[in-house]
Structure 1
Amino acid sequence: MLEARRWPAKLVLQIVATLLVLPFLFPLVAMVQESLAGTGWNNYATVLAIPELPVFFRNSVIIAVVVIAIVYVCTMTAAFAFSKLQIRAKEFFFWLLLAALTLPEVVILAPLFATATSLGVYNTFIAVILPLAALQIPFTVLLARNFVDGVPNELLDASRVDGASTWQGFRYVVWPLTTPIGAAIVVLTLIGTWNDYLLPLVFLQDPALQTVTLVPSFFVGEFNNDQTKVVAAAVVTAIPEILAYLLLQRLFERGLSAGALK
Structure 2
Amino acid sequence: MSVSVFKDTAPRALLLTAVALLSVFPLLSMLSAALQPQGTAPSGLAIPADPQWHNFVDAWNVANLTVLLRSSVILVLGVVPPTLLLAALAGYALGQLKIRFGGVFFVLLLFGLTLPFEVVVVPLYYQMQSLGLINTQLGLILALIGLNMPFAVYWMRAHFQSVPIELGEASELDGAGPWRAFLHVQLPLAGPALASLGILSFLGTWNQFLLAIVLIDDPEKRTMAGALQAFVGAHSTDIVLLNAGALLIMAPTILVFIIFQRYFVRAMLAGAVKG
TM-score (norm 2): 0.88
What is the match of residue 36 of structure 2? 37
Report if aligned partners of 1:125, 1:209 keep a CA contact under 8 Å in 2.
Answer: yes
Q: Displacement, 1:119?
A: 0.8
Contact 1:82 1:90 in 2 (8 A): yes
1:245 aligned partner: 257
Q: Does 2:169 correspond to 1:182?
A: no
Q: For the residues of structure 1 that align with 2:167 and 2:174, how far apart are their CA atoms?
A: 11
Q: Show the counterpart of 1:113.
A: 125
Name the amino acid aligned to 1:48: W
Summarize deviations over 1:223-246 as a string: whole Å, max 9, x none. Answer: 331022112111101111111111
Structure 2 unaligned segments of length 5 or more: list them.
39-51
* Residue 262 of structure 2 is aligned to residue 219 of structure 1: no
Whole-Å separation in 2 of the counterparts to 1:72 and 1:58: 22
How far did residue 51 of structure 1 move? 7.3
Q: Do the aligned partners of 1:143 and 1:259 also contact (CA within 8 Å) in 2?
A: no
Structure 2 residue identity aligned to 1:36: L
Structure 1 stretches of 5 or more lacking a match? none
Instruction: Give the counterpart letter for 2:31 in structure 1.
Output: V
Supply the distance in 2 between the matched residues of 1:85 and 1:134 (Cα, whole angstroms).
Answer: 23
Alignment of 1:99-178 (within 5 A): 99-178=111-190
Contact residue 196 and residue 213 of structure 1 kept, 8 A? yes
Please say if residues 63 and 228 of structure 2, whose CA atoms lie closer than 8 Å, have aligned partners that are also in contact.
no
Instruction: Return the offset for 1:205.
Output: 1.3
| Residues 194-227 of structure 1 deviation map (CA, whole Å, 9 limit, x = unaligned) | 1110111121212331221121211111133102
Please give the secondary structure, in 2, of the residue aligned with 1:87. coil
With 108-117 and 59-68 compared, the bigger mean Cα shift is at 108-117
Counterpart check, 1:65 vs 2:77: yes
Per-residue deviation at 1:108? Answer: 1.2
3-state SS in 2 of match to 1:213: helix
Single out whichever of 56-65 and 144-153 deviates more from structure 2.
144-153
CA distance in 2 between partners of 1:190 and 1:256 (Å):
17
Tell me if structure 1 keeps the 8 A contact 2:72–2:224.
Answer: yes
Equivalent pair of 1:128/1:199 in contact (CA under 8 Å): yes
Deviation track 1:30-81 (CA, whole Å, cap 9, x = no partner) reads 2222222334323212112247321100100110111101210111111111
> Structure 1 pair 37/152, CA: closer, same or farther in 2 (3 Å)?
same
In the alignment, is the contact (CA less than 8 A) between 1:68 and 1:190 conserved in 2? Answer: yes
Structure 2 distance, partners of 1:127, 1:260, is 37
Q: Distance in 1 between matches of 2:36 and 2:85?
A: 44
Task: Give, in whole Å, the separation in 2 of the partners of 1:173 and 1:30.
Answer: 48
Distance 2:137 2:72 in 1: 10
What is the one-letter code of the residue matched to 1:114? Y
Residue in 1 aligned with 2:15?
Answer: 16
Separation in 2, partners of 1:19, 1:225:
32
- Shifted more, 151-160 versus 215-224: the winner is 215-224
Change in 2 beyond 3 A, CA 1:259/1:134: farther
How many residue pairs match? The answer is 258
Once residues 258 and 189 of structure 2 are traced to their aligned partners in structure 1, the CA distance between those partners, rounded to angstroms, is 21
Quick one: distance in 2 between partners of 1:133 and 1:260? Answer: 27
Q: For the Cα contact (< 8 Å) 1:79–1:144, is it kept in 2?
A: yes
Identity within the alignment, %: 35
Shift of 1:134: 1.6
Equivalent residue, structure 1, for 2:47:
none
Counterparts of 1:242 and 1:170 in 2: how far apart (Å)?
32
Question: What RMSD over aligned residues (CA atoms) do the two structures have, in Å?
Answer: 1.8
CA distance in 2, matches of 1:222, 1:20: 37
> What code does the residue aligned with 1:47 have?
A
- Residue 64 of structure 1 aligns to a residue in which SS? helix
The TM-score normalised by the length of structure 1 is: 0.92
